[in-house]
Amino acid sequence: MILRCGIIGAGQIAWRYDGGRWDGRRSLTHAACFDRHESTDLVAVFDPVLASRDAFAAGYAGPSTVLLPDSLQDFLALDLDLVAIASPTQHHGDHLRACLDAGVMRLWVEKPVTLDFSDFEDLRTRIKAMQTPPRICVNYFRRALPQVARLKAYVQNCADLTGVEIVYSRALAVNGVHLLDLLGYLFNVVTPPPLDWVRPDSSGANPDFGLTLAGVPVTVTGHDLPYHLIELRLTGRDGRMALTQGGAALTWDAAQPNPDYPGFFNIDASQPILPFETTQAAMYDGMFLMLDNLVDAQATAVSPLNSAYFAQGVLTRVADAGGLV
């Protein structure tokens, strides 16, 4: 069965990053993933901005003949089996509700789900009450990576984890939220704890704050930088594991005896846990893996709507503490 697919929003993550075509190596957008998957066919894209629709019509490099309706009503009248919601985050709630009203049974939602926690709760309550709820995937694609699976195994099996450090740039609600989601995923926590602190002079898009998970202190540090910084480090008594380069590298720094000072230990040079070629390729495959999981109704959901509660809750707590403007 080929699923008829559509995209709401014609921006970067929808198709622009790679032209919307699977090139045999990278599928970085929703359109390219639809092109790549044997069970999906992109049939329509809706964006309320005419210039965005025109840009798609001129630049889309995929194989499909794609309709570009000028209204959401006309888009949803096309009997779509799967819709990717890639519009600006402030519109996600309205677009999700429209898809629910139209009976779309598979939804692929960009992160974060909403910017307003009450809006998220309203959606979650409505979907939970539905007799036949849709299968929903929130696009926290790092959950599907083998390097993150190794991170999670370390967290679950490490009895003496002493701290977690997160560093990010280019906005907590845009890039840092990936790492917030990973926190909940790694520790198997859905409801976030209260914040321990928010640095009072760090308000803005990149706030600093701290919290505690399973007795482990977590420090989150934002940076106002022109480049992407997405890194997570786990420190234990046996060494330190780090996810760096946006998630494309996983390394281990082992605690070892210090040969110069008997009885003392130091940290060895970083060693890759998985070959970089493997972890980089997985990054290129991340979105496709999320789509594949969404398409397979028999598979355990990797990133269902309910699991996004943790990241949404932390964003809300930081905002309520005056640390997110």
Task: Please enumerate in sequence order all residues whose Cβ is within 8 A of that of 175, keeping only pairs 6 or more positions apart, or say none.
Answer: 168, 169, 228, 229, 230
Enclosing H/E stretch for 317? helix 309-320
pLDDT tens digits, residue range 85-137?
999 999 999 999 999 999 999 999 999 999 999 999 999 999 999 999 999 99
Q: What is the DSSP letter of 171?
A: -
Q: Which residue has the tokens 């049939």?
A: 43
Length of the chain: 325
Global confidence as pTM: 0.95
- Residue 325 has what pLDDT? 62
- Residue 267 has what pLDDT? 85
Q: 54 φ, ψ to 5°?
A: -65, -40
- CA pair distance 202, 224, nearest whole angstrom: 10
Q: Answer yes or no: are the C-beta atoms of 21 and 35 closer than 8 Å.
A: yes
Residues of the chain with pLDDT under 70: 202-203, 323, 325
Q: 174 φ, ψ to 5°?
A: -110, -55
How buried is residue 225: exposed, middle or buried, by Cβ count under 10 Å (0-12/13-18/19+)?
exposed
- CA pair distance 210, 252, nearest whole angstrom: 24
Q: Answer yes or no: are the C-beta atoms of 144 and 279 closer than 8 Å.
A: no
- CA pair distance 139, 92, nearest whole angstrom: 13
- Residue 295 has what pLDDT? 98
